[in-house]
Amino acid sequence: MKKKWIIVGVVGLVVVVLLVLVVGSYNGLVGKSQAVDSQWAQVQNVYQRRADLIPNLVSTVTGAANFEKSTLVAVTDARASVGRVTLDASHAPEDASKLQEFQQAQGQLSTALSRLLVVSEQYPELKANANFLTLQAQLEGTENRISVERERFNDDVRVYNTAVHSFPSSMMAGMFGFHEKPYFAAAPQAQSDPAVTFPNFK
């Protein structure tokens, strides 16, 4: 009789240990997934801040005599294309192609803004415009924030993906539908400066 209770006790202990492992692994995956989603919302937030600055920037630049219209058109078009690529701000994308499409649209906007800021150096009235200088500083600060938030997002994705592929949480990931999430990657054009040509001034 005593032996029977010992066996029951051992089996019960094993069940409890397994249950703790399952619950711990599941909760760990949920927590890591939520961290990725939270950081994704922050990435979206800083991208939105940049998009909100652009109309004021374009309006200020439009007042500068002889400013290159093609540069303003490129910025306006790039901002519009960003608006057409919509991703849920509350959940990090799990489809790498969707994230790549989002990243490509944002990269085109970054390139257009870089070109605008480089071209603006040739316009003394813009360089003396307090509104433009303020917007320029805010945009540069926002670009830095975007870089920081994307890096933090990739860090959270790395931690989550490591958990998804590590034993024993990998078993929980498979059972409960936790999938690997894609990273932000540097766009090929990010490795080179935008090509800029200036008109001839009299």
Show me where the domains of the chain are located: 30-181
* pLDDT 10s digits, 61-79: 887 767 888 899 999 999 9
* Below-70 pLDDT ranges, the chain: 1, 65, 186-202
pLDDT of residue 38: 95
pTM over 0.75: yes
pLDDT of residue 190: 44
Q: Are 58 and 88 in contact (CB under 8 A)?
A: no
pLDDT of residue 139: 93
pLDDT of residue 197: 41
Residues 30-181, CATH architecture: Up-down Bundle (1.20)
| DSSP secondary structure string for all residues of 23-51 | HHHHHHHHHHHHHHHHHHHHHHHHHHHHH
Q: Are 113 and 94 in contact (CB under 8 A)?
A: no
pLDDT of residue 167: 87
pLDDT of residue 24: 86
pLDDT of residue 155: 97
